[in-house]
Structure 1
Amino acid sequence: MTNPAPTRQPCPPAACICGHGQLLDTPGADCRILQLTRHEERKLIDRLENLQSLEDLQRLCGRMQELLGIVVRITPGYNEVRSVRGLVFEFDEQPGLCRKTREAIPAAIRRALARRPEIFFRLLDEHDLLRGA
């Protein structure tokens, strides 16, 4: 007999709009996001904070989508981008994705990009912001 994979504890009522209970009650719903326990979330945040290259960031974003269903897009803001604060992080709508996780992932990526500005510049260059400079 195998043990089921641990699932994330539900957020306190009215503290989050993640829809944890609704996701569990919906038959055939994609429940991969519930495998992101608080312990696993800390490990993910640590990995995001210690990025080594743009390829590493892209690989981690791909793994988040593959394993958890989290789709995150990182784009330069509409106005001038002078620092990592000018980046826009967009998540696809996904039931079960906690509000705190939605805030922690961009914060971890911003800290990593601030620590390694060459990754930040490569990200901007992918969007043609530094081409010809």
Structure 2
Amino acid sequence: MNSLPPLRQPCPPGTCTCRRDELLEEPGADLRILRLTRHEEQRLLERLENIRSLADLERLQQRMYEQLGIRLSVSPSHNEVRSMRGIVIDFVEQPGLCRKTRQAIPAAIRRGLERQPEIAYRLLDAHDLLRDA
């Protein structure tokens, strides 16, 4: 018996720009992102809020790509970084990624960085914070 994993429920019409229906109709499309159910999304957000190191964050980024196809980059802004808002969190455009999820993941990462500011310092160091010194 080959059972498919549960897929995410569709967003109410007109509220999201995820293009879920287009993704389902496209033959050979990457449907990994649709495996992120609301329950699994909550688990992911909790995990992102409780990161313990920069390596942990990088591992989560890698696993999000492998399991869901989400490409995410976390880096300091080109301008001065004075708070966690100065950390830029970008997604590669991906059909099927819900608008709310696209907002919730960066917010969870920022909460995790606020809880563990040394991770943000390591991130700044990894991107050559002291290049002008």
With the length of structure 2 as denominator, give the TM-score of the two structures. 0.96
Amino acid in the other structure paired with 2:114: A
Q: For 1:31-52, what per-residue CA distance to the aligned partner results, in whole angstroms no more than 9, with x for missing partners?
A: 0000000000000000000001
Seq. identity, %: 64
User: Is residue 2:85 matched to residue 1:85?
Assistant: yes
How far apart are the structure 2 equivalents of 1:82 and 1:130? 15
With the length of structure 1 as denominator, give the TM-score of the two structures. 0.96
How do 1:100-115 and structure 2 match up within 5 A?
A: 100-115=100-115
Are 1:125 and 1:131, in contact at CA under 8 Å, matched by a contact in 2?
no
Query: Which residue in the other structure is 1:7 paired with?
Result: 7
Amino acid in the other structure paired with 2:86: G
Q: How many equivalent residue pairs?
A: 133
User: Is residue 2:124 matched to residue 1:124?
Assistant: yes
How far apart are the structure 1 equivalents of 2:130 and 2:39? 38
Q: For 1:74-101, what per-residue CA distance to the aligned partner results, in whole angstroms no more than 9, with x for missing partners?
A: 1111211011110111101110000111
Q: CA deviation at 1:62?
A: 0.1
- What is the RMSD computed on CA atoms of the aligned residues? 1.2
Amino acid in the other structure paired with 1:107: A
Structure 1 stretches of 4+ moved >6 Å: none
Match of 1:74, SS state, is strand
Amino acid in the other structure paired with 2:45: I
